[in-house]
Amino acid sequence: MIDVLNGKTMSPPPLWLMRQAGRYLPEYRQTREKAGGFLNLCYTPELATEVTLQPIRRYGFDAAILFSDILVIPDALKRNVRFEEGHGPRLDPIDVTAIRALKPDHVSSHLKPVMETVTRLRASLPEETTLLGFCGAPWTVATYMIAGQGTPDQAPARLFGYRETAAFTYLLDFLADVSADYLVEQIDAGADAVQIFDSWAGVLGEREFADYAVRPVRRMVDSVRARRPGAKIIAFAKGAGLRLKTYRRDTDTDAIGLDWSVPLSFAAELQKDGPVQGNLDPMRVVAGGAALDEGVDAILQALGNGPLIFNLGHGITPQADPDHVTRLVKRVRGEAL
């Protein structure tokens, strides 16, 4: 996978799946039950290591991605993060006064268990398996901090950005800086590459995309590279559409992740500028059979002659059949079922 991040074309391409350690796997559900809560699982190195390794043992993916969550940063900032069954994440909504009072002092110490997990993983993984660290992009993390939860169109954060522009810019810059520190620590603990998830980039207008999605990520990348010049960084801006045309250049990232709505003809144009990652519709994994095969084949045909990391266009869903993932892996690698 590192070869591809360096611009090399591999056949078959390296393969991993977003949320590959997750609720579609029975072994994951058993381990999560043992943890007694999602954040407990994220902060218990033994268990977080175990669930990260489970899909590697089962499928032999070319990369393992650290099991954690993008909201460990606001949790470290004492925003009272909790995960409610059936409702998703909840936080204490932040206001202007609380934004100005944010301090990075305890973030590193709070996230030490995550670094221990990264170290354990690098020691446990085969040498040829890439270890990916990650964090949320400032815009996406900020949307949860402003609203106190996920919302369909992130209207609370968009409105806050218009009404309290200076405070919102300060929040994005603050998150960019603590997130860059977090990525550097992951790299130092053993991560071979890192990915920045901007799951809500697609709700932004043109100017807001530049101000909220591009500028803070570039700030992060510059900060990481100033300290770790060889760092390999993937950026995934879900829903960015045509703005992906300049996203790699403007953020200075090594590879860009593509969601399933990106046309393969456009993806092939983007690939001329460097590695792309994606972009199978997760619903094809749920469907299985011919729908899965056709989706895999179309991506390999369109993008297989350039630097490609095969992945989904977003995270695998709990409804996915583990056997369908086996079929996907074999199809990408040209192996008989």
Spot the catalytic one: 23, 122, 225, 333.
Answer: 23
Whether the bond between 305 and the residue before it is cis, its omega within 30 degrees of 0, is no
Active site residue 293: no
From 19, 284, 327, 331, the catalytic residue: 19
Dihedral angle, C-alpha 21, 22, 28, 29, nearest 10 °: 180
Is residue 225 part of the annotated active site? The answer reads no
Q: Is 29 a catalytic residue?
A: no
Clarify whether 144 is annotated catalytic. yes
Catalytic residue among 24, 28, 69, 327: 69
248 as an active site residue: the answer is no
* Catalytic entry in 29, 32, 225, 228: 32
Tokens 């992906």: give the residue. Answer: 244
Q: Which of 28, 144, 182, 247 is catalytic?
A: 144
Would you name the residues annotated as active-site residues?
19, 23, 32, 69, 144
